[in-house]
Amino acid sequence: MKLFNTLTRQKEEFIPLEEGKVKMYVCGPTVYNYIHIGNARPMIVFDTVRRYMEYKGYEVNYVSNFTDVDDKIIKKAIEEGVTSEEISRRFIEECKKDMSSLNVKTATTHPLATKEIQGMIDMISALIEKGYAYRAEDGTVYFRTRKFKDYGKLSHKNLDDLQAGHRDIKVTGDFKEDDLDFVLWKPKKEGEPFWESPWCEGRPGWHIECSVMSKKYLGDEIDIHAGGEDLIFPHHENEIAQSEAANGVEFAKYWMHNAFLNINNKKMSKSSGNFFTVREIGEKYDLQVLRFFMLSAHYRSPLNFSEDLMEAAKNSLERIVTAAENLKHLQENAAGGETSGQESQWLKEAQGYREKFEAAMEDDFNTADAVSSVFELVKFINTKVSSESSRAFLEKLSDLLRELCDVLGIILDKEEDILEEEIENLMKERQAARKEKNFKRADEIRDLLLEKGIVLKDTREGVQWKRA
């Protein structure tokens, strides 16, 4: 298995630190709003990496944090007149719902920054002791960047260029020894959440969170550290400096970064206002379509979001789902019996598509090619099966298709029968809630249905539903 390592700028053979095991850390979102579909890209991409590793028999310890203390969270809390904790708790819940709709597996551990403050204080103390960090006179603790000789090795930047970049934007009121030094711990401001520390009442910098959570849940040395490419500098560069200075060993062997999801060839981001939330897209499409759309491109290629491409993804996915349903239907009605000689031959041929799929995934997780091999398999299935096929033959083809789709995190069962009953029941409950003027519950039910792709419409004949 080969993967592109940002550290060496090369595709490298993946050799785990410990045989049969993978320790993987993926930087998670800052939770102050609904996640946008750009944030969903690393979630989907690295969940697929995890799924492929598991398919190959690795035991994957997958850690992904929620950053639940941050300026943006505090700002939102002030706007709404609630605590930061309430904001982060709310949007962690919402984010988990989105991840579940995208069929992103729950991480082995989803640590929260605010629950790991002691670990951060310990690591900062160790860095101070070793001379890699210092407390400035206002109580801020800085990392002494120039002391870490490998600084810049991930982003391939050199210190002098960085220094030149800093010269024009010197901030007054800083008590830094050097422009390049970055914050590990900062003093509280009025009204902000804070913790006691040996340096001042305050809160941690963003970078130290990930170094500490990675160390606690995966150990000093890990296999893969991942995130979007905007995290390479300064976030991941700073994580390396902190972790390697504190622990004295190489932090992560492989660094993986996904390219951006764009709109009109510009990065989708909240700050520039050009974004769609996962929730919004979920109102129009089954979120499986979004997942499929993301995987139709290589993770290191920029991907432009458009209605046309989503429609294309919807149609493509439909073809795969239809083939799976057709197989299921034929299986239910198959006359029975063992595979014939001809069918055995075809099954061997079908394994060729598995090999193609694996070859694509082994080549730096080329999901675009892997998806193509699934299509070839679908085409093959459609031409080889009929009402004459044996049940064993149909079953084996169905298993193969399902296994490959499962690696991509694509669900093939529509489960319409169960859902319909569920929908009717929920609609009755909603009706009752409305009668009792319990509009909160009524709205909750509407949102719940929406999450499942069901849109409610008030008509003269009463409330009606349709699939989005």
Binding site for Zn ion (CB under 5 A): 27, 210
Q: Give the orientation angle of helix 416-435 with respect to helix 439-451, to 10 degrees.
A: 160
Using the minimum distance from each CB to ligand AMP, give the nearer residue, 122 or 230.
Answer: 230
Rounded to 10 degrees, what is the CA torsion of 267, 270, 275, 279? 130
Using the minimum distance from each CB to ligand AMP, give the nearer residue, 37 or 127.
Answer: 37
The nearest distance, CB 6 to Zn ion, in angstroms, is 14
Tell me if 230 contacts ligand AMP by CB under 6 A: yes
Which of the ranges 38-46, 99-107, 376-384, 424-432 carries the binding residues for ligand AMP, by CB under 6 A? 38-46
Candidate residues 108, 109, 125, 269; the one interacting with ligand AMP per rule CB under 6 A:
269
453 binds, among ligand AMP, Zn ion, none (CB under 5 to 8 A by kind): none
Give the three-state DSSP class for 308. helix
Q: Which positions ≥6 away from 401 have C-beta within 8 Å?
A: 320, 323, 324, 327, 374, 377, 378, 381, 412
Tell me if 205 contacts ligand AMP by CB under 6 A: no
The nearest distance, CB 218 to Zn ion, in angstroms, is 13
Could you tell me which of 441, 423, 425 has the C-alpha nearest to residue 433?
441
Token reading at 439: 């509009």
Candidate residues 3, 4, 6, 29; the one interacting with ligand AMP per rule CB under 6 A:
29
The nearest distance, CB 91 to ligand AMP, in angstroms, is 10
Give the C-alpha separation, 205 to 195, whole Å.
12
Q: Which positions ≥6 away from 183 have C-beta within 8 Å?
A: 140, 141, 142, 143, 205
Using the minimum distance from each CB to ligand AMP, give the nearer residue, 181 or 209.
Answer: 209
β-pair partners for 466: 455
According to DSSP, the β-strands at 462-467 and 454-459 are: antiparallel
The gap from C-alpha 171 to its chain's centroid, in whole angstroms, comes to 35
The nearest distance, CB 110 to ligand AMP, in angstroms, is 14
Candidate residues 24, 113, 210, 268; the one interacting with ligand AMP per rule CB under 6 A:
268
Could you tell me which of 84, 61, 2, 79 has the C-alpha nearest to residue 300?
2
Give the C-alpha separation, 415 to 441, whole Å.
25
Token reading at 291: 């997942």
261 binds, among Zn ion, ligand AMP, none (CB under 5 to 8 A by kind): ligand AMP
Candidate residues 30, 84, 243, 339; the one interacting with ligand AMP per rule CB under 6 A:
30
At position 202, the amino acid (one-letter code) is G
210 binds, among Zn ion, ligand AMP, none (CB under 5 to 8 A by kind): Zn ion
Give the C-alpha separation, 81 to 90, whole Å.
14
Interface residues for ligand AMP in 379-418 (CB under 6 A)? Answer: none
Which of the ranges 10-18, 26-34, 329-337, 452-460 carries the binding residues for ligand AMP, by CB under 6 A? 26-34
Tell me if 27 contacts ligand AMP by CB under 6 A: yes
Candidate residues 91, 255, 260, 380; the one interacting with ligand AMP per rule CB under 6 A:
260
Candidate residues 228, 234, 282, 409; the one interacting with ligand AMP per rule CB under 6 A:
228
Give the three-state DSSP class for 422. helix
Residues that bind ligand AMP (CB under 6 A): 27, 29-30, 38-39, 41-42, 227-228, 230-231, 258, 260-261, 267-269
